[in-house]
Each structure stands twice: as structure tokens, then as C-alpha cells.
């Protein structure tokens, strides 16, 4: 899992530098969010994946991703974040910082979140 987190952070940092998107851009917001989420043990144990600058989490380390009720976060142009329920089911909040976004994500994690598994066929029943 550590290698996945390292790789996704480095990929988005490289893309941000390559494209030249600076502070306040979605790229910058996503890099900051990734670093904050990685530092939070309850999120850092999950498999991170991104889609259209959104940060999602999976219990499965391979597709199809298994969200299991885990919310996701969206960096907003100009700063700030939007935290949404799984599948986009409602806005849970619009925190200003990546740390506040991570706290809101953790607050809305399912209490019975199971272990991470390597393939959907290995999913605990």
C-alpha cells in the first residue's frame, strides 16, 4: 500500500509541475489532499485512486474498486474541497483545507470498514 501512495503522490506532483498548474489549481489541491490523506492512518491503509481530480478510496487493490461506503473528496478550482458520499450521494461538506477534508472523510468512514484485499474475488464475506 505504501508503494501505491508514494506512486500516486509522485505522479500528481510530476503532472502538476509538467503542466505548470500552481497554487489554487485542482492539481495543487489534489497533491495537497493526497499528502494529507496519506498521513491519516485510517485513510492511508486504503487503496487511493483518482478520477477527474477526485480522490477515491478502495478496499480492493485492483479494479473493480470497492468503495464500501467510503466518501470521496474533490479539490475545487480556487481552493477548498468538496467531500461527497460514496457514488456522489450528497455533499457532506465543503472544507477549506486538505486537513479539514481528511477529517471530514474520516468522520464519515463506515464503522465496520473491513480489511483491504488484493482482488474482488478475495473480498471477505
Question: Is residue 23 in a domain?
Answer: yes
CA distance 57 to 40: 13
Question: Is residue 121 in a domain?
Answer: no
User: Do the beta carbons of residue 75 and residue 33 sit within 8 Å?
Assistant: yes
The larger pLDDT score, comparing residue 10 to residue 40, is at: 40
| pTM summary value | 0.81
Question: Is residue 119 in a domain?
Answer: no
CA distance 82 to 14: 24
Domain hosting 66: range is 2-110
pLDDT in tens, 22-58: 554 556 788 889 999 999 999 999 989 888 788 989 8
Secondary structure class of 17 (helix, strand, coil) = helix
Report the number of distinct structural domains present in the chain: 1
Q: Which residues, at least 6 apart from 29, have a Cβ–Cβ distance to it below 8 Å?
A: 53, 75, 76, 79, 80, 81, 98
Question: Is residue 7 in a domain?
Answer: yes
Question: Is residue 59 in a domain?
Answer: yes
Amino acid at each position: 500500500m505504501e508503494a501505491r501512495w508514494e506512486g500516486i503522490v509522485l505522479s500528481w506532483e510530476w503532472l502538476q509541475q509538467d503542466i505548470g498548474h500552481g497554487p489554487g489549481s485542482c492539481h495543487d489541491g489534489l497533491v495537497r489532499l493526497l499528502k494529507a490523506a496519506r498521513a491519516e492512518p485510517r485513510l492511508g491503509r486504503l487503496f487511493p485512486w483518482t478520477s477527474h481530480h477526485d480522490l477515491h478510496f478502495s478496499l480492493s487493490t485492483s479494479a473493480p474498486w470497492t468503495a464500501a461506503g467510503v466518501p470521496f473528496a474533490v479539490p475545487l478550482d480556487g481552493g477548498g474541497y468538496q467531500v461527497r458520499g460514496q457514488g456522489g450521494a450528497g455533499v457532506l461538506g465543503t472544507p477549506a483545507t486538505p486537513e479539514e477534508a481528511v477529517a471530514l472523510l474520516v468522520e464519515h468512514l463506515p464503522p465496520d470498514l473491513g480489511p483491504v484485499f488484493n482482488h474482488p474475488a478475495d473480498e471477505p464475506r
